[in-house]
Amino acid sequence: MFHGLWINTWSNFQNKLGREKGLNYQSIFNLVYGQFWAALFRFIAWTALPNTVPPWSPQYWKDMGMSTVIGSFFGSLGYQGLNTLYDNGRISRWQRSAIQQVRDLFFTLTGVFFGSGGMAMFWATFAAQQGLDLLIYLVSIKAKRRPIMYMADEAVAASPEFQGGFPVGPEPIIQPSPIRQALKNLLDLPFVKPFVWLAKKIYGAIKGKKDAPKP
């Protein structure tokens, strides 16, 4: 979603929300916030076009759930891949910003098509969006790292803020696996957590029966 002139305020709000309330609270808030506006826009579209699937239909939530789960996984790969390309010196800052603008454009287009109920265009644009993120990730793991020179004051370079913001050091910094991170983000989705909980319960019950002593 675009927040126009309030984008910086929104970013500060998100940082404060995550810091004071925690990641789980922030995730649930953003889920409810996003679903509210998506459902409202779909309702408005339904009032103008009665053939549009309304937000109280199971089909609406099926489409929403599928796109959220798939988009979260590939979106995480694309985001991490883009940052990896930048951190490895393969793209410049303006190139990273330009690619991110294209990703944002796809995000906006899919939101418009989904909100208006144009599902054929939505799924076509959504597929292209996921393909772009997958391509970015694949390029990031194939592209070799380039030497990068950072110029900073010695005290600044030694600060934790600088060390955390720039991949510098005598040895290459080991980054977490993007696939593993994408799966973690997927499993942390409020949409997915109930299914994860159910799967754990079923697995525990099956394992308990196997481990139980036979009479």
Distances (CA, A) of 126 to 46, 67, 70, 80, 197: 21, 8, 10, 19, 28
Whether the Cβ atoms of residue 191 and residue 69 lie closer than 8 Å to each other: yes
d(CA 76, CA 178): 8
**pLDDT, one tens digit for every residue, the chain (215 residues):** 444 555 556 666 766 766 777 766 766 777 788 788 889 999 999 998 888 999 999 999 999 888 988 888 888 888 888 888 888 888 888 888 888 889 989 988 998 999 999 999 999 999 999 999 999 999 988 877 776 666 777 777 777 777 666 656 555 555 666 677 666 766 666 666 666 666 666 767 666 666 655 55
Number of H helices, E strands in the chain: 9, 0
Question: How many CA atoms, within 13 angstroms, populate the side-chain half-sphere of residue 119?
Answer: 13
Q: Give the residue among 82, 85, 78 at the shortest CA–CA distance from 143.
A: 85
Whether the Cβ atoms of residue 103 and residue 78 lie closer than 8 Å to each other: yes
Can you list the alpha helix ranges (DSSP code H) found in 143-192?
154-158, 160-165, 178-187
What is the residue extent of each domain of the chain? 1-56, 57-167, 183-215
Specify burial of residue 174 (Cβ count, 10 A radius: 0-12, 13-18, 19+): exposed
DSSP 6: G
Whether the Cβ atoms of residue 104 and residue 75 lie closer than 8 Å to each other: no
Q: In the prediction, which pLDDT does 190 show?
A: 63
Query: Residues 16, 22, 24, 25: what is their CA dihedral angle, to the nearest 10 degrees?
Result: -60
pTM above 0.75, yes or no: no
Total residue count of the chain as it appears in this document: 215
Diameter of the chain measured on Cα atoms: 73
Q: In the prediction, which pLDDT does 1 show?
A: 45
> What is the residue type of 16?
K
